[in-house]
Amino acid sequence: MSNRPQFTWDDLQFFLAVARTGQLSTAARQLRSSHATVSRRIDRLESALNVKLFERNPRGYVMTGMGTRFVETAEKMEQETERLRTDLADGSMTQRGVVRLSAPEGFSNFFFATVLAQFAARHPHLSLELVTIQQIMSLSRKEADISVVLDEPKGGPYLAEKLTDYHLQVYGSRDYLARSAPIATRDDLLMHPFISYIEEMIFAPGLDYLGDVHPRIKPKFQSSSIFAQLTATRNGLGLCILPYFFASRYPELQIVLPGEIDLKRHYWISCHRDLLQSPRVRAVFDFLREAAAGEDARFVPPWAKR
């Protein structure tokens, strides 16, 4: 009789956690387990299947070709298992587990964080991981279950839906504008320092909007963080293009050239089609759609609705 370990579903859960994170420590935290246990379970699964699923290196676990092929099968088993649990559970217990959401910094902090209490009340058994460093997140590498992005995803096995439009204007602090040269035309903007993103670190075309305001604007202060840009603007460092849905919260900020400069962008929600079969992922996906649809007034200024 063979001494090879038996294949178990529990080992697949450990496999998927490592496949999605590439790190034993991160997988262990998600599974509320230990580094050593995760390593042991992966070793046992490889022995049971008689295949090598990961290459081990100092930076983490990298899937082999066989491991990459095995992910799809393991995810289908995961979805069927969750579907079975849903069928067996009562209404309050149908969604459980952890969902990782990747979303831009501004959307995360000035919109999603404000509706988290509603989400927690509706789905008390779901845990969320919110990642705002979108430059390093990838649905294709299983680094996030759901992504909110600025540009519509093209191609691949993904479902993408537009969450909402949002608008941006040029803002300056009232103190800065009171002590600076007046602005009557777009050309006048060239006499003022601008605050913007670091050009080579712009991770989405939707954030590259200085040229839409004036082709000759050169930023004086640049940051990869919209929070830093907002803070610099509030402290009178210069002018900045900011989304209406959070810049309008600060009475010390004033729109420059109102009625003339109004940029329109979009937020999209995207997810692998297979993952949407998972109750936990579908719950977050649907909640985000409903929350954004119910808060249209936050994203679209009154004058843009005429």
Superfamily of 95-163+266-301 according to CATH: Periplasmic binding protein-like II (3.40.190.10)
Taking the C-alpha atoms of residue 132 and residue 136, their distance in angstroms, rounded to an integer, is 10
- Per-residue confidence (pLDDT) for residue 90, from 0 to 100: 47
Give the chain's count of helices (H) and strands (E): 12, 11
Q: Considering the chain, tell me which residue range(s) the CATH 1.10.10.10 domain(s) occupy.
A: 9-86
Q: Is 4 helix (H, G, I), strand (E, B) or coil?
A: coil
Q: What is the reported pLDDT for 92?
A: 44
User: What values do phi and psi take at 50, rounded to 5?
Assistant: 60, 40
What angle is formed at CA 290 by the lines to CA 286 and CA 295, rounded to 5 degrees? Answer: 150
Question: How far apart are alpha carbons 152 and 305 in whole angstroms?
Answer: 23
Q: Quick one: pLDDT at residue 30?
A: 86
Q: Which residue shows structure tokens 């995803």?
A: 153
Question: Which pLDDT does position 204 carry in this prediction?
Answer: 77
Looking at the chain, the whole-number percentage of residues with pLDDT higher than 90 is 48
- Output the pLDDT for position 294: 84
Give span(s): CATH 3.40.190.10, the chain: 95-163+266-301, 167-263
238: nearest Cα among 262, 222, 214: 222
The per-residue pLDDT for 270 is: 92
The answer to whether 133 touches 108, Cβ cutoff 8 Å, is no
Which residues of the chain have a pLDDT value below 50?
1, 90-93, 136-137, 139-140
* d(C-alpha 81, C-alpha 256), whole Å: 55
Three-state DSSP at 17 gives: helix
Tell me the CATH class for 9-86.
Answer: mainly alpha
pLDDT for 88 equals: 55
30 class by beta-carbon count within 10 Å (0-12 exposed, 13-18 middle, 19+ buried): buried
Four-way CATH pick for 167-263: 3.40.50.920, 3.40.50.1370, 3.40.190.10, 3.40.50.970: 3.40.190.10
Q: What is the pTM (predicted TM-score) of this model?
A: 0.68
Residue 263 is predicted with a pLDDT of 94
Helices 35-49 + 24-31 axis angle, to 10? 100
Element (H, E) at 272: strand 263-272
| Neighbouring residues of 287: CB distance < 8 A, sequence distance ≥ 6 | 118, 119, 122, 123
Give tens-digit pLDDT for 259-288: 899 999 999 999 988 888 888 899 999 999
pLDDT digits (tens, 9 = 90+) for 72-96: 888 888 777 776 666 555 444 456 7
Between helix 9-21 and helix 65-88 the angle, nearest 10°, is: 120
Burial of 144 (0-12, 13-18, 19+ CB in 10 A): buried
Q: Determine the distance from the C-alpha atom of residue 8 to the mean position of all C-alpha atoms in its chain, rounded to a whole number.
A: 33
